[in-house]
Structure 1
Amino acid sequence: MIRISIYISKTFVFSWLIVTFGFLVLIGLLDSLANSNEIAESGRGGMATFEYMLYRAPVIFDRVLLFTVVVAMLLTYVKLIRQHELVALIGFGFSVPKQVAMLAPAVIGVTALAVLFINTAMPPSVRALQAWGVGEYKRTSISAEKPLWLQDGTRIVRAAGRPNMETLTDLQFFDQEETGEISIVSWVDRAVYDYEQKIWILAGAERVTARARFTPGPFTKWSSEQTPTSIAKLAADPRDLSLKDMRKFRTEGRSGSKPGFAYGFWYLHRITRPLAALILLLCAVPIMQKTGREDTGDKALITGIAAGFIYLVLDGALSTFAVSGGLSIIWAVALPLVIFGLVGCYLALKTEDLSF
């Protein structure tokens, strides 16, 4: 059984590598073509397209991870069906649960390693794209319609523009008392980060206070732990951050481009991807139990891909609701897993009944 498990696992891993490479190249090319004008105008030379594809690869990989795993599972079984090896496995008593058990370590292992890679490679890639300011990562993503809010000690800061990585514009500072009351409100035209002094130099500051007999002092420097790098993290989409940063912003809940629950959702979503892959395996194996003499596995392959699409559509819809606050993050993550887990168990039991 161990040798058979190793053989099937090797087939799965090899299929997954090929499928993943194909998806990354295809989607990367289409994405670069869609942004070809901006890439050409960046002045980075003839290799700019490949540089863009390289930076985008971890992001694309994150988006298509589960689908590549599903396709690799299905292709593994298509090979077993066409070489009549699945008939032999069933003849030797390898039921659906045993087949799932044989392939589960490889599926969980590949998905877990992929999540680790995404967690390591995606954040710096996104920061590089933000600095480049191309495609969906234009610096103008921080705007009056999409301002950035952050907590800086007893001060709440709102920024409505970022013309480059070291500059913030149209800022508002709200100084809070221990009681939570706003004591001073400041409007600042521009803040530029000074790397030598490690402070923000402010220009065009105006300050008002509700206190009687008190005039706020001049506001020309902003000493803060926030740097251009930390601002880039705050401005990024929650899904594009590392698990460490997601957990930080989820816990603090007062900084970032989205509310705290959005960071909490993507944190929970990412760490449950190995479980999601296992549940999809539980659905895929019963679907691929085709042992007819003329069976090639094509129809089962189409059915399996359709099931994978349905899962992704459901997961995406619930993700949208959860990030916007319309649904509990626990329900949004758990519902697709529970539904497809029950479907997988039903299909496995049904297949076992038909085999007797």
Structure 2
Amino acid sequence: MKQKKTLLTVIAILVLFVLVYLADQNLDSYKMRILNLCAIYVVLGLSMNLINGFTGLFSLGHAGFMAVGAYTTAILTMPDVVKGQNFFMVPMMKPLDTMHVPFFLALLIGGIFAGIVGYLIGAPALRLRGDYLAIATLGFAEIIRVVFTNMQSITNGALGLKGIPESSNVWWTFGVAVVTVLFIGSLINSSYGRAFKAIREDEIAAESMGISLFKHKVLAFTIGAFFAGIGGGLLGSLLGTIDPLMFRFFLTFNVLLIIILGGMGSITGTIISAFIITIGGEALRFLDESMTIGNLVIPGISGLRMVVFSALLMIVVLFFNRGIMGTNEITWDRLFAKFNKKPLAKGGSKL
């Protein structure tokens, strides 16, 4: 049975990449960017869900980890000439001004740096709980943004970085998303994942069973920060430009919205929600523009798109107060059970 499920997983991944190939060949650049953003938000959503959903911590510092990953990846991939063009006011610190590594290595280093920052923040902050932890992590994220704004010889300060090589494409974004899903899924189904869930349900009971609260909280926080850094690196490379104002609380809020709508503690829900929110936000963009219905011209209202989108999300949350999936997953076992149900015998009744 295990081999069968592994084979089905491999087939599903192959089908996904066939669809990605077809999309890459047939869709225009605008639609491809939306698909890239969907995959990136899957990575970011899963990284935050590991912390907030599976471990039960209330962290609001995700934008800071994304900033670390985005800046690290950008600095390590930018050509020397482009660095010189960006740092025209204050020269870039040596040896960063001549340092250049392949995109994959830069992405990995960005994730590692974000994980280290996550560990340094988590070690003191995770002794707090609830709202106090949220305030502390939000404060640390803002500190990271302010530090980046003032480190002009490394980050170019408030001017940001432009001309970042646009290495992110559907193969990178969906490839990283698949790896993230497989890794988080394996982690959650391991003994560490069961410990995370135990901490989420009842910290006192988990500790009485011999689970080290501090160790597992810091581990979840560090891994979540690592994948947030990876997602930030992909996002910066996709956009081609970054600046400190990108990494304000609103970015954390977008990721938080994904895991709340999809379900706190559901990998499947996070994936579905990332696509719904990213595509839905773009599909409603026509509401900001003027519309003509017969002889009637309705002037566009700036921001109406977000008002309608927020109202739709509120309706969904009201009817699905635990998110689309809650804590449930779409697994092979669940699908087998659904399709292997035998019909009731004639005249029989369901017990």
TM-score (norm 2): 0.30
Q: Would you tell me which structure has more strand in proportion to its own residues?
A: 1
Structure with the greater alpha carbon radius of gyration: 1
TM-score (norm 1): 0.30
Q: Would you tell me which structure has more helix in proportion to its own residues?
A: 2
Greater relative contact order (CA < 8 Å, ≥ 6 in sequence): 2
